[in-house]
A and B are shown apart, each in its own frame.
Chain A
């Protein structure tokens, strides 16, 4: 995306801002995660009570056992609640972010393949960050302190020992985490590429199958998979290094407290320590010792969730739309004038240069010329889909360069027809969703579409022939009574008879409207008031 990799601080700032609407949910999840300290303390106290009372079999044993049992029951309920609250907050944030990505996608501000992946897989990668990491991170600040305070009430020296181990721990975790962040970003980019490749190659399955090229394509997929596996393995080695460090300090904490308490209870400490320690206090401290690290372990377990989220931030950021004036409403049949229009994609030589044309209200112009002479590009100008590199296009005197496009006031029929799953009627009404059933039927008939309006159609246009797809597109363009009608090869894919049958309908559709038609067909050209050769 950007040439300079964004700093982790910027990324975190973005994640924080994105999470702001769900602040309360995230806070609640953090609170539930922190609340885990309570049952942990209960278990420690219960065991200490039981063991102290054990030698003389006093009634306190039963209290101890009940306390331990209750502690585990509460612990289970609390963690279920934490997971639920966290997932809800994450869902809210994901929805919000996805809306932005999708809006940019349909506005034409994102390249298609990358945009699709960002909206589905990219947004999904935020889930772990908000559902697990963010609550765990907030809990990781408060919970260890609470555990240390609890331990200090029984054995201040044990609490001090544990507090001291936190310093080297934090340092080594920070070192390992920094290295993993860059790796994680690389890994996501590799995953994005693999996912895009997959989607594309699966789209091309019909061709791959026809040419028996599945081995060729499969080996290409294999190379991409391998690259991903290598990258990911490297990330994991580093990510697991930090979890290894945590495991080490967690085990060390238990060992240190056990050894200190043992020696202190035996009275064998080399330096006398003025701490009154008994069995109960020592057991309490020992059982809680690993709990100092438990919140940090939870956070570390979710650490790669944060890295995954940071890695996708650059692909999720909103794209800036150019600031343009809103397009004014056009009259019923506007005038159009092209003056010295150049259209050039990127650095390629212009496909159209110095194009001049004046169209009177209600005039029908046929654009003709060899393939690749920019007929479609001229039509795309009105949708903001081809760049106006030089010159000006004016519709009713309003310059295109200032308004960007005339979307919403255009009747369009393109070279390929969109089919959305649903009935045929749904598909026709795409251009005019509030059209009445009767109007849809009448338009379908005009366009020569004689199929059942309730016939179901899938994304690949199941059941529609090439000709029927054309008629569907035409019906759509006819249904919308737009001021400006743009037809791009309206009779392509139709045989001579069908074309002839369509011409009267086409003539009726364009009557009285300003219309630009890109076509090779003589029959269609005959409908035009003027034929312009490119």
Chain B
């Protein structure tokens, strides 16, 4: 059983185990609620019916009637039912919240490790999936007590019905079974698909809205705000319609429960009348009828639980493909630092300064991201530190400090963004790398300095400042290779000179290797090896070494081919 569990299932089970004490309390309390409710109603019915008959029999019988114990029991049951309900609610929800609080970050970590599906997901949809699906899994924690409570409640109710007649008890058990099984069928076939549709529609809404909102300046320029609002409304109406469908379908469970309860009641009361020559005593019949109502109500609780469980299963099925497959501990990490970008070329030794060249659109960015194991790739094309980065059990990211062309910043402070590269870096180090990226002055003059918030996606910074912050972040990471994709794009000539001058000084000092994509002449001068990228964007690429900037083809090969 534990062998074939998916990684997500293993995660969830571990959290359920951690919450076991709370869940036990919740389960015991839930049993108290259902049993207490059935007993309270049944006992009350018996009490007044018996009292009525005793009253009819005359004052002598009435006075002999023991009313103390039943009336005390009735009060006790009222308190038990109340207390149990409260404990069940609080313990169940606390277990769920705590379990989820632990599950979310683990999910995030696995998501960040998975290099397949997640990168192709639009941000809006991925996050809406994550949040809503994790919330759907919440019900797995809360509803864990439902089957036990149902079982106990039904047992007590059936026992009470059996006081009247065995056939009544049988009718109740059969009725409850039909209710639950039928509801399960309705949930699976009728409600669950609607729940999946709704969640998908909601995810689409979020993704669409996020992508249009990111376009606000351009939308304003083209006067498309009205179009965008209508476009969102169109997607939103679909999501709302899916919600109505879900509500209607979930409501059909109520109709089913009503019909089954009515027929069960007819069986519980009618069968003894048909089967037995001497009908059971009236007070016991009152018990049986009221216990049936209570027992079927307990069964209905399970129906709701089943419905939620269906939603939780759909959610975990969607989360499944987003998870990374191999645990970090079992990953192979490189021992060397040499890079092989192309199968037919010699490897580039550590410390080299390499420029990738080629017309825009040829796939240079894709190539370096595949080299760093950030993108899915076919195996056997590249090597980094002696390992194939395309393999799923290889992690070569430790070799590289990457400043991407598509700037990716956290909505946080300057320091927070820099420390992504080194969580423990002292402030002095942060200033050092900011200085190297020609951004120290800008940060120093900001009122909050390193704690200056940069806004969502770095919105409070200019384009050039965002680029330099990304650069500083890459500088902070101690790695054999610095990988820079258009590092000086959008910088004016003076700043560019400053940045490149300091980069050269940095490389000379540290001996760090450089892989750079740059079209700008100033950047070109920094590199001593040029690799011409030639081929399709995603397909296998090959390299033609080109001599440039005083380097001869021969000397280049000599340098590379040891």
Genuine A/B complex: yes
Q: Is B10 an interface residue (CB 8 A)?
A: no
How far apart are B217's CB and chain A's nearest CB, in angstroms? 6
Question: Of B308-316, B462-470, B552-560, which stretch is located at the interface?
Answer: B462-470
Q: Are A489 and B109 in contact (CB under 8 A)?
A: no
- Residues of B close to A98: CB separation below 8 A: 232-233, 236
Q: Are A212 and B62 in contact (CB under 8 A)?
A: no
- Residues of B close to A266: CB separation below 8 A: 51, 54-55, 62-63, 65, 67
Q: Are A218 and B360 in contact (CB under 8 A)?
A: no
Q: Are A372 and B537 in contact (CB under 8 A)?
A: no
0 or 1 for each of A278-295: is its CB under 8 Å from B? (1 = yes): 110011001100100000
- Residues of A close to B269: CB separation below 8 A: 50, 61, 64-65, 68
Determine the distance from Cα of A432 to Cα of B222 in the docked complex, in whole angstroms. Answer: 8
- Residues of A close to B71: CB separation below 8 A: 258-259, 262
Question: Of A142-150, A311-319, A394-402, A457-465, which stretch is located at the interface?
Answer: A457-465
- Residues of B close to A430: CB separation below 8 A: 218, 222, 224
Q: Are A493 and B489 in contact (CB under 8 A)?
A: yes
Determine the distance from Cα of A131 to Cα of B251 in the docked complex, in whole angstroms. Answer: 12
Q: Are A265 and B405 in contact (CB under 8 A)?
A: no
- Residues of A close to B252: CB separation below 8 A: 80
Q: Are A467 and B360 in contact (CB under 8 A)?
A: yes
- Residues of A close to B47: CB separation below 8 A: 258-259, 262
Q: Are B359 and A209 in contact (CB under 8 A)?
A: no
Q: Is A174 an interface residue (CB 8 A)?
A: no
Q: Are B90 and A460 in contact (CB under 8 A)?
A: no
Question: Of A6-14, A241-249, A333-341, A439-447, which stretch is located at the interface?
Answer: A241-249
Q: Is A324 an interface residue (CB 8 A)?
A: no
Determine the distance from Cα of A421 to Cα of B210 in the docked complex, in whole angstroms. Answer: 12
Q: Are B49 and A283 in contact (CB under 8 A)?
A: yes
0 or 1 for each of A23-55: is its CB under 8 Å from B? (1 = yes): 000000000000000000001000100110011
Given A200-B456, A208-B420, A418-B215, CB of A69 within 8 Å of CB of B359: no
- Residues of B close to A486: CB separation below 8 A: 221
Q: Is B428 an interface residue (CB 8 A)?
A: no
- Residues of A close to B423: CB separation below 8 A: 213, 216
Residue of A nearest to B214 (CB): A418
Q: Are A370 and B494 in contact (CB under 8 A)?
A: yes
Q: Are A267 and B44 in contact (CB under 8 A)?
A: no
Q: Are B233 and A206 in contact (CB under 8 A)?
A: no
Determine the distance from Cα of A433 to Cα of B227 in the docked complex, in whole angstroms. Answer: 10
Residue of B nearest to A372 (CB): B462
0 or 1 for each of B179-211: is its CB under 8 Å from A? (1 = yes): 000000000000000000000001001110111
0 or 1 for each of A70-109: is its CB under 8 Å from B? (1 = yes): 1111111101111110111011001100110011011110
Given A200-B456, A265-B55, A420-B215, CB of A371 within 8 Å of CB of B101: no
Q: Is A431 an interface residue (CB 8 A)?
A: yes
Q: Is A172 an interface residue (CB 8 A)?
A: no
How far apart are B248's CB and chain A's nearest CB, in angstroms? 5
How far apart are B264's CB and chain A's nearest CB, in angstroms? 9
Q: Is A199 an interface residue (CB 8 A)?
A: yes
Q: Are B210 and A199 in contact (CB under 8 A)?
A: yes
Determine the distance from Cα of A316 to Cα of B62 in the docked complex, in whole angstroms. Answer: 65
Q: Are A207 and B247 in contact (CB under 8 A)?
A: no
Determine the distance from Cα of A265 to Cα of B409 in the docked complex, in whole angstroms. Answer: 78
- Residues of B close to A416: CB separation below 8 A: 463
0 or 1 for each of B60-95: is its CB under 8 Å from A? (1 = yes): 001101010011001101110111011001100110
- Residues of A close to B286: CB separation below 8 A: 47, 51, 283
Q: Are A120 and B244 in contact (CB under 8 A)?
A: no
- Residues of B close to A201: CB separation below 8 A: 108, 410
0 or 1 for each of B337-366: is its CB under 8 Å from A? (1 = yes): 000000000000000000000011111010
Given A221-B104, A459-B211, CB of A51 within 8 Å of CB of B216: no
Q: Are B112 and A209 in contact (CB under 8 A)?
A: yes
Interface band, chain B: 35 or more
- Residues of B close to A520: CB separation below 8 A: 490-493
Chain A 481-509 residues near chain B, CB threshold 8 A:
486, 489, 492-498
How far apart are A16's CB and chain B's nearest CB, in angstroms? 21
Q: Is A228 an interface residue (CB 8 A)?
A: yes
Question: Of B166-174, B383-391, B394-402, B500-508, which stretch is located at the interface?
Answer: B394-402
Q: Which of B104, B213, B411, B537 contacts A116 (CB 8 A)?
A: B213
Residue of B nearest to A489 (CB): B490
- Residues of B close to A498: CB separation below 8 A: 359-360
How far apart are A187's CB and chain B's nearest CB, in angstroms? 11
Determine the distance from Cα of A226 to Cα of B40 in the docked complex, in whole angstroms. Answer: 40
How far apart are B194's CB and chain A's nearest CB, in angstroms? 12
Residue of A nearest to B55 (CB): A265
0 or 1 for each of B368-398: is its CB under 8 Å from A? (1 = yes): 0000101000000000000000000001011
Question: Of A133-141, A177-185, A232-240, A355-363, which stretch is located at the interface?
Answer: A232-240
How far apart are B116's CB and chain A's nearest CB, in angstroms? 12
Q: Is B2 an interface residue (CB 8 A)?
A: no
Q: Are B244 and A54 in contact (CB under 8 A)?
A: no
Determine the distance from Cα of A480 to Cα of B111 in the docked complex, in whole angstroms. Answer: 41
How far apart are B544's CB and chain A's nearest CB, in angstroms? 17
Determine the distance from Cα of A115 to Cα of B240 in the docked complex, in whole angstroms. Answer: 19
Chain B 216-258 residues near chain A, CB threshold 8 A:
216-225, 227-229, 232-233, 236-237, 240-241, 243-244, 246-248, 250-252, 254-258
Q: Are A73 and B259 in contact (CB under 8 A)?
A: yes
Q: Are B45 and A286 in contact (CB under 8 A)?
A: yes
Most chain B CB inside 10 Å of its own CB: which residue of A70, A237, A420, A464: A420
Q: Are B236 and A203 in contact (CB under 8 A)?
A: no
- Residues of B close to A259: CB separation below 8 A: 47, 71, 74-75
Q: Is A391 an interface residue (CB 8 A)?
A: no
Q: Are B40 and A254 in contact (CB under 8 A)?
A: yes
Q: Is B326 an interface residue (CB 8 A)?
A: no
Q: Which of A116, A258, A345, A410 contacts B210 (CB 8 A)?
A: A116
Residue of A nearest to B94 (CB): A233
Q: Are B124 and A262 in contact (CB under 8 A)?
A: no
Q: Are B397 and A210 in contact (CB under 8 A)?
A: yes
Q: Are B44 and A91 in contact (CB under 8 A)?
A: no
Q: Is A119 an interface residue (CB 8 A)?
A: yes
Q: Which of A94, A95, A203, A251 contacts B123 (CB 8 A)?
A: A203
Residue of B nearest to A432 (CB): B222
0 or 1 for each of A212-226: is its CB under 8 Å from B? (1 = yes): 111111110110011
Q: Are A407 and B220 in contact (CB under 8 A)?
A: yes
- Residues of B close to A94: CB separation below 8 A: 236, 240
Q: Are B266 and A265 in contact (CB under 8 A)?
A: no
Given A203-B457, A266-B65, A463-B537, CB of A120 within 8 Å of CB of B75: no
Q: Are B248 and A84 in contact (CB under 8 A)?
A: yes
Q: Is B484 an interface residue (CB 8 A)?
A: no
Q: Is B128 an interface residue (CB 8 A)?
A: yes
Residue of B nearest to A420 (CB): B211
How far apart are B235's CB and chain A's nearest CB, in angstroms? 10
Q: Are B247 and A87 in contact (CB under 8 A)?
A: yes
Q: Are A115 and B262 in contact (CB under 8 A)?
A: no
Q: Which of B48, B65, B255 contacts A80 (CB 8 A)?
A: B255
- Residues of A close to B243: CB separation below 8 A: 87, 90-91, 127
Residue of B nearest to A202 (CB): B127
- Residues of B close to A412: CB separation below 8 A: 217-218, 221-222
Q: Is B451 an interface residue (CB 8 A)?
A: no
Most chain B CB inside 10 Å of its own CB: which residue of A69, A200, A243, A458: A69
Determine the distance from Cα of A299 to Cα of B255 in the docked complex, in whole angstroms. Answer: 21
0 or 1 for each of B23-46: is its CB under 8 Å from A? (1 = yes): 000000000000000001101110
Residue of B nearest to A257 (CB): B44
29 of the cross-chain contacts (CB-CB < 8 Å) are A50-B285, A54-B279, A54-B282, A68-B266, A76-B258, A79-B254, A80-B255, A91-B244, A102-B233, A106-B219, A106-B228, A113-B411, A201-B410, A209-B113, A211-B420, A228-B97, A229-B101, A236-B93, A262-B48, A266-B51, A370-B492, A370-B494, A371-B491, A376-B463, A385-B217, A416-B463, A418-B218, A465-B362, A480-B222
Q: A106-B220, A115-B213 are known contacts; what are 6 more A-B pairs with Cβ within 8 Å?
A: A69-B265, A95-B236, A98-B232, A116-B210, A383-B220, A458-B122
